[in-house]
Amino acid sequence: MGFKIGEKEIGENNPAFIIAELSANHMNDFDVAVKTIEAMAEAGADAVKFQTFTPDTITLNCDNEYFQIKQGTVWDGQVLHKLYDDAYMPWDWQPKLKKIAENLGLIVFSSPFDKTSVDFLEDMDVLAYKIASFEITDIPLIEYAASKGKPIIISTGIASFEDIELAVKTCLDVGNDKIALLKCTSSYPAPLEEINLNTIPDIKEKFNFVVGLSDHTLGGEVSTAAVALGANIIEKHFILDRAMGGPDSEFSMEPDEFKLMVDSIRNVEKALGKINYELSDKMKANREFSRSLFVVRDMKKDDVISEDNVRSIRPGFGLHPKYLKELLGKKVNKDLKKGTPFELNFVKGE
């Protein structure tokens, strides 16, 4: 399980791959897009993700009831075509922004929304493809993107279990097993009660692919917790300043918030470590403060050992406390002063 995106190892036993989603937060301003990408790199992102579509490749220019948003989202009241017209990134920007991002050390890839966008991204030589939550049922798109042989990262925000199975099968059928499945809650912003992070290890167990989280909650706690549960990829929307507005501003992270999340994830990864029962040198030294058997009252030769004169106390220089029960009732073979670490050879007849 696992794959590489460029030189980056993705999967178990590797640091989480942290993706900053640019989405519509370029505000239709190339300079804002550049500054946002620079801030992503500064905040510790591993990758920046674009979205590659035009309003006409993703929907129809139609305002009848089917194309009006009324789902209780931040976009309610808008017509789909107008929303996507406001949100899309001009395609001629994308090769330029890719070069800028790569010069900053970021990996660049995108979500395509039709075959023409896949072809465009192939010409850009992107290293991976992201299938957006709402496209998981677009099997022809998944098949076409997966056929390029590059890693396919699939969000599962609106997916049933059967949808996930079919998307995975579609990739495998074209010979592509470089698959990542992201737990996602397609609410914007997503309420904590609907996140169900415990699904992440279950996805890993059932599908045996790289797993992760596409996170639309506010703050970084959920993403950090996801890493503790085994997420190998984290994706978060990124914006220079939520006050700028825009379609995705309400659930996007500002640079300082994103950096705090990255730092928290990296600290959690250090703490997770590996399965290990060995003691470090520091832990071995601290065993001096553990319990052991000591003489706690002056004893004369032939005194009987009892809980009044031999006890388990700190520090740990005496005999292991597990021996106390078998020592009780036996006699000592010498005079012993209070504070002496007890030894087996103090017992008469031993």
3-class secondary structure for the chain?
CCEEECCEEECCCCCCEEEEECCCCCCCCHHHHHHHHHHHHHCCCCEEEEEECCHHHHCCCCCCHHHECCCCCCCCCCEHHHHHHHHCCCCCHHHHHHHHHHHCCCEEEEEECCHHHHHHHHHHCCCCEEECHHHCCCHHHHHHHHCCCCCEEEECCCCCHHHHHHHHHHHHHCCCCCEEEEEECCCCCCCHHHCCCCHHHHHHHHHCCEEEEEECCCCCHHHHHHHHCCCCEEEEEECCCHHHCCCCHHHCECHHHHHHHHHHHHHHHHHHCCCCCCCCHHHHHHHHHCCEEEECCCECCCCECCCCCEEEECCCCCECHHHHHHHCCCEECCCECCCCECCHHHECCC
Q: What is the pLDDT of residue 151?
A: 98
Which residue type does 129 have? Y
Peptide bond before 15: cis, by omega within 30 degrees of 0? no
* Domain 281-346 part of CATH 3.90.1150.10: no
Structure tokens at 245: 């507005």
Neighbours of 100 (CB within 10 A): 17
Where in the sequence of the chain do the CATH 3.20.20.70 domains occur?
Answer: 13-53+88-272
Strand pairing of 152-155 and 129-131?
parallel
CATH superfamily, domain at 13-53+88-272? Aldolase class I (3.20.20.70)
What does the pLDDT read at residue 293?
A: 98
Predicted local confidence at residue 274, as pLDDT: 87
Neighbours of 179 (CB within 10 A): 22
The whole-number pLDDT of residue 3 equals 97
The tokens of 256 are what? 């300082």
pLDDT less than 70: residues of the chain: 71-77, 86-87, 350
pTM: 0.87
pLDDT in the model for residue 74 = 59
Dist. CA 279–CA 162, nearest whole Å:
46
Distance, first Cα to last Cα, the chain = 58
> What was the pLDDT predicted at 187?
78
Query: Which part of the chain has CATH 3.90.1210.10?
Result: 281-346
Other beta carbons within 10 Å of 272: 10
Other CB atoms within 10 Å distance of the CB of residue 257: 18
